[in-house]
Amino acid sequence: MNFSLIPDESPAESLRRIVEEQIDGAIAQLHREDDLNEAVHEARKRFKRVRAVLRLARGALRAKTYRANNRYFRDQGRLLSPVRDSAVNVETMDLLRRRYGIQMTDKGFVRLRQSLAAENRSALRTYVQDEQGRAEMVASLRRARERAIGWRLDASDFSLFEGGLKRTYRRGRAEMRAACEDPTTENFHAWRKRVKYLWHHMQVLRPLWPAQIGALADECDRLADRIGEEHDLAVLMAAPTVKGFVAANGSRANLLASIVSRERDRQRSAAIPLGDRIYAECPVRFVERVEGYWLAYRRGSKTHTRPAEVC
């Protein structure tokens, strides 16, 4: 799979191909039998990439097409959430135990990890037993793939990306500002979603200038990981099993809360400078810069000028 533009394709052809490949990849993951946690995770990632492509082309798609497909792929991901969410809780607990070593070797923490792992196994059993549900999802995805082939994109060249790219970048700046001014779990999670969309946009557009856009894509990936880990820690503490552990274990609960709070603060502190660099430009100038790369990428194009918008 090539999650990026290809020079020999028109922009519309590239986006349709990318969407088709991501749907095919999701279907392949749903047929896996080896590592089901990974399979579910990979399928959900492909749904998110399709949604990112929808956002990138949003200005060129009919509103009805955008809304229906964005909602559809969001809902497909949610159907797989129980498996992924339970797996993330185990992974987050393992991460804390690796980082804090001897502080978390107490039998109470071992039992907590065992309980989280049991919840994941239960979610996996439900997933495996629901053969009809998976078959219906696969059939539904195949129909979605056929519809994607016929998406009407009312734009060509850079105008296909311009509106969506500007919107994603502007929303990311706004969400970052909200997270800095009011650092709640919800605000940081909202910011992370915008960062992930921008990351995927940069992956698609990377061939325009691999060194520059590739570097920005890598920074977006790093930032999404920072905010993502912060969110995973918050979700872990909100899990019913962990809440029960906290209620029944005084000193252990205090230690766990202290460690999680420290780690969340660390991730947030690391995220802000990254965000400052990624969102250093106003949306208009950012998009104009990317358009300059586009014009260089499309050999023979002539740079055109237009009045600059006020940031």
Residue 21 · residue 1 · CB < 8 Å: yes
Per-position DSSP letters for 124-183, written without gaps between them? HHHHHH-HHHHHHHHHHHHHHHHHHHT--B---TTHHHHHHHHHHHHHHHHHHHHHHHS-
The structure tokens listed for 301 are 């194009």
Residues forming a β-bridge with 61: 153
Contacting residues for 258 by C-beta, under 8 A, at least 6 apart: none
Amino acid sitting at position 108? G
Amino acid sitting at position 126? T
pLDDT of residue 255: 93
Q: Which residue ranges form the domains of the chain, and what is each CATH number?
A: 11-297 (1.40.20.10)
DSSP class of 60: G
Rounded-to-integer distance, Cα 109 and Cα 101, Å: 11
* φ and ψ at residue 282, rounded to 5 degrees: -75, 155
- Nearest-Å Rg of the Cα atoms of the chain is 21
Per-residue pLDDT tens digits of the chain, which is 311 residues long: 789 999 888 899 999 999 999 999 999 999 998 899 999 999 999 999 999 999 999 989 999 999 999 999 999 999 999 999 999 999 999 999 999 988 888 888 999 999 999 999 999 999 999 999 999 999 999 999 999 999 988 877 899 999 999 999 999 999 999 999 999 999 999 999 999 999 999 999 999 999 999 999 999 999 999 999 999 999 999 999 999 999 988 888 899 999 999 999 999 999 999 999 999 999 999 999 999 999 999 864 444 444 444 44
Residue 222 · residue 271 · CB < 8 Å: no
Nearest to 285 by CA among 269, 265, 301, 306: 306
pLDDT of residue 299: 67
pLDDT of residue 49: 98
What pTM was estimated for this model as a whole? 0.92
pLDDT of residue 73: 98
pLDDT of residue 300: 44
pLDDT of residue 307: 42
Helix (H) or strand (E) holding 114, with range, is: helix 107-129
